[in-house]
Structure 1
């Protein structure tokens, strides 16, 4: 794609802001938002443009992306439709596709193409690679292939379908799962259970389930509500779920073990490839356990911890693990990081971070060795010392101050700290050298 103007209505927050972040390096990105001060700050932080008017944005955009709450989407489409450039493209990114698709078909002029889309990922997504995006275009004009190829080049998983099929699939993927998860969270609240008190009894599966439920209920509740209420398949899905719960409750209350087993087996068979499901869940559990094991073994040592959402790296001495939190100390400062939100840097990653972020110390060290000393072995050994960046021989001296069986070698050593250079001097002494 050539350089062009991409406008994002609602680009100051949520998914719109995420889309702006991914597009800003390749396109001229303009955004609008309800809060102009916040929108201007976001635009400045991303080095993109902010415009107060949706209609003005529509008039300058080659591609206009509508990223507003679901219940406002159709009204925004109607608002900007008359101002769209001839030959431009409109895209919406809402979770429900039937209503915005119908609105775009009704109000956009024939000179404007439209592609209703649904990126099936949220604002917390850190990369587009392997993320799913659904395209529900009823007509494929000149823009469609360009958009498809761009998404494909980002290694996204592209699904092409109808708005009706999309909404039915999302009634299972979103409506049913969100409804059941929020129902479970609501039941826990009504039982007045302190989740932290269950930690001593929790299994890895319970832990994963609670984390997934928390992830859903932590979303904007208005967004979750409109995903429920604006999907035409919602009533059928919720009623079916409620009936299934009541049936299962009554079977257990009636102590009908055979009926319970019949329901459980029938449901299990319908779940598809159970082996793959077990494999994926095992991988998730093992991943959680592996990270915790790494941290436990690192207590008392220097570690690098990367926050998986902000990307910020924290380096310090890991003092202890407490209440699912890593306690990190750097000098007099203490940092508490939730284990669920961090990943442990490998030794190589930590070393590279130090190289790029810490001040380096350089010192020339002169040392008298036996003439039989192997310079290459000295240098290779020094390079294996942690935090040594480089060592090179800069001078060889055999003057009158040096005995005939000895030689003075001067090395320039680059390290991350004076303590690391001190270790080099100790190594030289260990090789039989005498520091000059």
Structure 2
């Protein structure tokens, strides 16, 4: 599949733009966009190609990906279908599959394959590894195996199903959950709740719940609305949810404890593997607690903090940590970083960053040791010191100026600073050596 043209209609935003990052190193990538100025800017930023015409893009693409808002997907498919290359493949990435699948089947010629897909992750996802992708092809041509193998090589979790089954499952995974989360957030707003103030009283589970709700409601509201309105299962799902809420409300308002317990038990039994769910949530809570604990223990020390989205690494002395922010000082500059958006580098990762990003110091050190000194022990000990990059023996001398029971060894030491090299000199004298 290498050396092929991949065209992405809608490649300047959202998932379409994210796909560029995954494909640009392996394929020749072209994008188009409604906003040509923005599209050209994104293409220049990502070092890919821009084409103004969707039809022109379809005409040169071996793989054409439709990544536009759900409500426009079928229109775009109809627009570009006549211009697709013989032997090419069309892929859409919308979260509704019945309508685009039917449209592709209707308008594409026999010489063009189509694979309706749904990557079940958002544009903020930085790795394909272990992410879910659903394929709903009604027939499998030569492209299907190629695409399947490519996704499998990315270690993705591939689900093969029908468009109808996909849309029903998405009515649970997306329609029901989004509807309930947005309803909860809307209730917060109607109650005029200060979420920041509630965090003073929060439990770890509440913290996780708020983060999940915030993640959903922060999505593009037009996309969220179309997920709700364009899934044919939506009305039944929302009505069932509303019925459940009203029934539970009435049971509690009527002080019917027995009925409440029955409902809670029935709901719990239907939740599947509760032990697994508890284990996963315990892991999430533990990870959050560990990160906060690690940061608090590191106050006053040098740390490396990696931004989980940009990948940029900030190194400096951690001045303070509160519930949401880590304050990092580097030289005369102070940086406030949101804790939710950073990972703490391990000591080994921080050392690796320093080696590749900071200026190095080199110095030759000559030292007289006892003749039976073990050079390997000296080198291994030095390499285990902080901020030492390399050490190598460059000379060994046992001439007239050196006692017959001694030997002069010269090492070239590479370190991150002069003070680190001074520490090596102190180590040599600690081994009983005499600096020449």
**Same-fold call, TM > 0.5?**
yes
Which residue of structure 1 lines up, in the alignment, with residue 241 of structure 2? 241
DSSP-derived class of the 1:12 partner: coil
Which residue of structure 1 lines up, in the alignment, with residue 63 of structure 2? 63
DSSP-derived class of the 1:127 partner: coil
Cα 1:371–1:111 change in 2 (3 A) is closer
**Does 1:131 pair with 2:131?**
yes
Which residue of structure 2 lines up, in the alignment, with residue 326 of structure 1? 326
- Measured after TM superposition, the shift of residue 157 of structure 1 is 1.3
Cα 1:112–1:388 change in 2 (3 A) is same
Which residue of structure 1 lines up, in the alignment, with residue 109 of structure 2? 109
> Using the alignment, how far apart are the partners of 1:100 and 1:256 within structure 2?
48
**Does 1:417 pair with 2:422?**
no
Which residue of structure 1 lines up, in the alignment, with residue 143 of structure 2? 143
Q: TM-score, normalised by structure 1?
A: 0.96
- Measured after TM superposition, the shift of residue 400 of structure 1 is 5.0
Which residue of structure 1 lines up, in the alignment, with residue 15 of structure 2? 15
Q: Which runs of 5+ in 2 are unaligned?
A: none
> Using the alignment, how far apart are the partners of 1:415 and 1:169 within structure 2?
57
> Using the alignment, how far apart are the partners of 1:402 and 1:144 within structure 2?
76
- Measured after TM superposition, the shift of residue 401 of structure 1 is 4.7
> Using the alignment, how far apart are the partners of 2:92 and 2:389 within structure 1?
51
Which residue of structure 1 lines up, in the alignment, with residue 180 of structure 2? 180
Which residue of structure 1 lines up, in the alignment, with residue 277 of structure 2? 277
> Using the alignment, how far apart are the partners of 1:194 and 1:417 within structure 2?
49
- Measured after TM superposition, the shift of residue 116 of structure 1 is 1.0
- Measured after TM superposition, the shift of residue 379 of structure 1 is 2.4
**Does 1:53 pair with 2:53?**
yes
**Does 1:220 pair with 2:229?**
no
> Using the alignment, how far apart are the partners of 1:111 and 1:397 within structure 2?
78
Cα 1:373–1:87 change in 2 (3 A) is closer
Which residue of structure 2 lines up, in the alignment, with residue 295 of structure 1? 295
> Using the alignment, how far apart are the partners of 1:376 and 1:91 within structure 2?
59
> Using the alignment, how far apart are the partners of 2:413 and 2:53 within structure 1?
59
Which residue of structure 1 lines up, in the alignment, with residue 80 of structure 2? 80
Which residue of structure 2 lines up, in the alignment, with residue 164 of structure 1? 164
> Using the alignment, how far apart are the partners of 1:406 and 1:87 within structure 2?
78
Cα 1:200–1:435 change in 2 (3 A) is same
- Measured after TM superposition, the shift of residue 222 of structure 1 is 0.6
- Measured after TM superposition, the shift of residue 429 of structure 1 is 2.6
> Using the alignment, how far apart are the partners of 1:14 and 1:325 within structure 2?
27
Q: Which runs of 5+ in 1 are unaligned?
A: none
Runs of at least 4 residues of structure 1 off by over 6 A?
A: none
> Using the alignment, how far apart are the partners of 1:300 and 1:183 within structure 2?
43
Q: TM-score, normalised by structure 2?
A: 0.96
> Using the alignment, how far apart are the partners of 2:41 and 2:12 within structure 1?
9
> Using the alignment, how far apart are the partners of 1:399 and 1:115 within structure 2?
78
Which residue of structure 1 lines up, in the alignment, with residue 262 of structure 2? 262
Which residue of structure 2 lines up, in the alignment, with residue 311 of structure 1? 311
